[in-house]
Amino acid sequence: MLYIMRHGKTEWNELHKLQGRTDIPLNEDGKLDVGGAVGFDGFINVIKDIGLKEPYVGMVPLVSGEIGDDFANYFVKSEGQDAAVAVGVLVDKNGVKSAGGYIIKPMPDATNEDISNIEQNIFKAGAISKMLDEKLSLEEIAKKITGDEDIKLIEDDINPKYQCDCNKKRFERGLISLGKEELKKLIETQDKIETTCQFCNKKYEFTKQELEELLK
């Protein structure tokens, strides 16, 4: 089962009435035909909070409907940086056998030779789903892709988690930036307003009295 958010439409999409959730058929290689479901008549949108006043928003057209191809194209076209992106899912009659992916970006001091070596290693390593199906560890996969036997995985002492730093004060500043005239209109027409963080979807409610305080 795959959840999809997309723009545009495809013949496959219309036939199966895709509305965000669907069973996707397999292609001739036994993999999910994601490209057939997503199509390429649309865009990929990325919103990032990088600590500036406004979030960074990048949008580029889809090139194949395949997640790895489209994200690699996004990095080049929107962020101006080459990247190797691989994602894969292997399924059988019982469901998903293995799934995973990786993103590799060159560091500023990477040479053309370094990048060429990585490209060759990726080609030799084959599909990420196949490596996972072969029960290779993350360290073994990383070594196979990079060709570096001395890599260090940061996994034991770091517990990544999603955490949004939004708060009501930020939204107060956003409302103030609308200007007094717009705030007065809100006060006159609304008993309260609700704002939503576009990153974590947390909602903040402002009463008429709170809006009036922002005018002072």
**Whole-prediction pTM value?**
0.53
* 10-22 pLDDT, tens digit each: 454 444 444 444 4
Neighbours of 209 (CB within 10 A): 9
The DSSP line for 8-53 is: S--HHHHHHT-SSEE---B-TTSBB-HHHHH-SSSEEEEEE--SSS
pLDDT score recorded for residue 27: 60
User: Per mean pLDDT, which of 1-5, 6-10, 21-25, 87-91 is the most reliable?
Assistant: 87-91
Q: Is the pLDDT of residue 167 over 70?
A: yes
Domain ranges of the chain: 1-66, 82-151, 168-214
The fold adopted by the segment(s) 168-214 is CBS domain Like (3.90.1280)
* 33-79 pLDDT, tens digit each: 666 666 667 788 887 777 666 777 888 888 777 778 888 888 888 88
Strands 21-22 and 2-3: antiparallel
- d(C-alpha 91, C-alpha 114), whole Å: 34
Residue 132 sits at the vertex; the CA angle it makes with 131 and 138, to the nearest 5 degrees, is: 90
* 111-159 pLDDT, tens digit each: 888 888 888 888 888 888 788 888 888 888 888 888 877 777 776 666 7
- d(C-alpha 160, C-alpha 119), whole Å: 28
Q: Is the pLDDT of residue 9 over 50?
A: no
